[in-house]
Chains A and B, each alone.
Chain A
Amino acid sequence: MRILYFAWVRERTGTAEETVTPPATVTTATALADWLSARSDGHAAAFADRKRLRLAINQDQADFSDPVAANDEIAFFPPMTGG
């Protein structure tokens, strides 16, 4: 599973990208976020307030309740501010 972080989420986790193999119990984006939170204090800080986070699964906007699979590209980021 390829995980990407952007903006302040990237700054808190300390990495822009990581490849992970979560346990089979991680079937939703919420479970993935919980599991990633345990990787470091920075990850915990990044995932602390889910209301401030958005995500994409395979480059499409998604919800925390959506399913995730082993080969997915999953990105976590703040609400978008284009223009």
Chain B
Amino acid sequence: MPVRIQAEDFDIAAEIAALSAGRDDIGALVTFTGLVRGGETASLTLEHYPGMTEKALSAIEAEALTRWPLKASLIIHRVGTLAPGAQIVLVATASESRHAAFEAASFLMDYLKTDAPFWKREDRSDGASHWLDARETDTASRDRWKKP
């Protein structure tokens, strides 16, 4: 159940192949890829807290494993300066059947948005630069997974 923080890009096909290589117990494999949106954005610079990031992502992944019968999972998150269209994050989940994989991937992304120590600075095409604020909608998305 690896977690990787890296500046380099990732190859989704290669990651999927590695995740399922030599296995016949996986019936469903879901991937989510987050990309940098363009428009006014010239580039996005991602900063993180080395050490805590790995710890937080591993904790989120461990929580997903207690909730769904996952056969495998993977989180790759890039850091550094990324141009519009660039891949930022990959979440992959594998299970026997599709519901667990879909739900776990959604859960991992919702927690990753609010509980993993990443911050994004947006450099705009007009020269302005600012740190993106956390969105309340992201917190709401995470909180729907909270147990009563």
Contacts and interface: CB of A to CB of B under 8 A. Distances in A.
Nearest to A4: B49
A75 B52 contact: yes
B136 to A, nearest CB: 10
B49 A81 contact: no
Interface string B116-148: 111111000000000111110010000000000
A75 B134 contact: no
A59 to B, nearest CB: 4
Nearest to A58: B52
Contacts of B118: 80-83
Interface string A1-30: 000101110000000000000000000000
B51 A80 contact: no
Interface in A58-83: 59-61, 75, 77-83
A31 interface: no
A7 B132 CA distance: 10
A44 interface: no
B21 to A, nearest CB: 27
B34 A77 contact: no
B47 A56 contact: no
A6 B89 CA distance: 20
A7 B131 contact: yes
A56 B49 contact: yes
A61 B115 contact: yes
Considering residues A59, A79, A80, which has the most beta carbons from chain B within 10 angstroms of its beta carbon?
Answer: A80
A83 B89 contact: yes
Contact of B134 (A6, A8, A59, A78): A78
Interface in B45-103: 47-49, 51-52, 55-56, 77, 88-89
A82 B90 CA distance: 12
12 contacts: A59-B55, A60-B52, A61-B56, A78-B119, A79-B133, A80-B115, A80-B118, A81-B133, A82-B112, A83-B112, A83-B113, A83-B118
